[in-house]
Amino acid sequence: MIRRVASVLVVGSMLAGCGGATTSAAPSTPAAAAAGPSSSGVAVGSPTPSTAPRASAPSSPAASTDALEAVRGTMDDLRATRLVTDVQLGGNPDWQTTLDGALWVGLGDRGVARIDEKTNAVVADVDVAGPCLSLAAAFGSVWSPSCGSNEVDRIDPARNTVVARIKVPGIPEDGEGQLVAAFGSVWLFTDFNGTLVRIDPAHDRIAATYHINGDGVSLVATPQGLWAVEPSHSAVVEIDPKSGKVVRTVPVAASPRFAAAGDGGIWVLGQSTGQVSRIDPDTGSVAATIDVEVPGEGGCVAVGGGSVWITVFQTPVSRIDQKTDKVIEQFTGAGGDCISFSAGSVWLSNNSQGTVSRIRP
């Protein structure tokens, strides 16, 4: 399992993109500041009224500096009110995708599990060697990059078996979200030097290789084009799927690594700051920057049900209202690693617990 640690460059007191000298950005929660009542001693004897010290009036507690305090709870709170079930999978549940009424979950060395969304039961385990990076569903198949054997495996949902193994040299084991299916092809970054391959699903082979000037990691797609997250540049670039060339660069919150596209927006989590940048794909600009207060390790982003869902370790669920660009719920505690929205539910991979939680939104 890839632990997905954000590497950040310290510049003064600010955290910048990956590269150079590194430090770890541990998750932190701003504490509420409070000023307690002050008191004054009184001198022994009987001082005159003009010289008698006066006891200071108790000062009012300072307002909390934590903007999310009012919407924050614990995972115990969430589980007590909205948990549908915990699906026991074993392994290390991580990336998810949806196809044919099922949630498909990568389990690290355990392969890929298929969960029936009607019964919440595991109905198949697919033997895939070291699924990593991400999962995608398109062209009647589930696509799973395999770091264990440098290939992309094509899973047939009718048989729950791998029907094609497409050799893709150099898949990086510490990459994240680097595969997307769009524009009639499956796209995958094969290194951190901007090497992008296009797989033809009609022939199960690499049809073209492109190079962009950057360290592309997560890939998402909109009707406008492909979008790649570049952590070291703290940017997201738009790629023309016809030419494979970068046509636009959008600066975002520092150390971006995870992204999702949907409902007319691209949502990018910056690991250094814990902020989410919302990109308008029509204008190619950041329309909003939302402080989710979740800097640090791990991460995943999903769009669904009128909300954007963020997960990181120690803060498994944060919910952003798409209409207001505000965090309206946040839950801290154990769990998390990847998140998706399907069949009217939030699905949360709990990597260290070997489970996927189904949650009512």
Model pLDDT, residue 191: 86
Contact in structure between 248 and 284 (CB atoms under 8 Å): yes
CA atoms of 310 and 316, how far apart (whole Å):
7
Q: How many other CB atoms are found less than 10 A from the CB of residue 197? A: 23
The pLDDT, as a whole number, for residue 71 is 97
pLDDT at 24 over 60: no
What mean pLDDT is predicted for residues 140-162?
A: 93
- Count Cβ atoms below 10 Å from residue 302 Cβ, excluding itself: 23
Query: Confidence band (pLDDT; 50, 70, 90) for 63?
Result: low
Instruction: Give the mean model confidence (pLDDT) for residues 268-297.
Output: 96
The more confident residue out of 33 and 280 is: 280
pLDDT at 148 over 50: yes
Tens digits of residue pLDDT in 330-355: 999 999 999 999 999 999 999 999 99
Digit-coded pLDDT (tens) for 245-260? 999 999 999 999 999 9
Q: What single DSSP character describes residue 5?
A: P
Confidence category of residue 122, pLDDT binned at 50, 70, 90: very high
Q: How far apart are CA 299 and CA 307, in angstroms?
A: 17
Residue 2 scores a pLDDT above 80: no
Percent of the chain with pLDDT over 90: 72
Copy the structure tokens of residue 353: 């617990």
Q: How confident is the model at residue 101 (pLDDT cuts 50, 70, 90)?
A: very high
Q: Look at the block and give the residue holding tokens 């004054």.
A: 40
| 194, pLDDT greater than 80 | yes
Asked if 201 and 153 count as a contact pair (C-beta separation under 8 A), the reply is no
We find that the CATH architecture of domain 72-294 is 7 Propeller (2.130)
* 24, 82, 188 from 177: Cα distances, Å: 21, 28, 9
Would you place residue 14 in the very low, low, confident or very high pLDDT band (cuts 50, 70, 90)? very low
If you average pLDDT over every residue of the chain, what do you get?
A: 84
Domain ranges of the chain: 72-294
Give the C-alpha separation, 7 to 248, whole Å.
Answer: 25
DSSP 25-65: -----PPPP-PPPP-----SS---TTTPPPPPPPPPPPPPS
Asked whether residue 55 carries a pLDDT value surpassing 90, the answer given is no
Instruction: Of 8-22, 101-115, 161-175, 301-315, give the lowest mean pLDDT range.
Output: 8-22
- Residue-level pLDDT at 233: 94
Q: What is the pTM of this model?
A: 0.82
pLDDT at 39 over 90: no
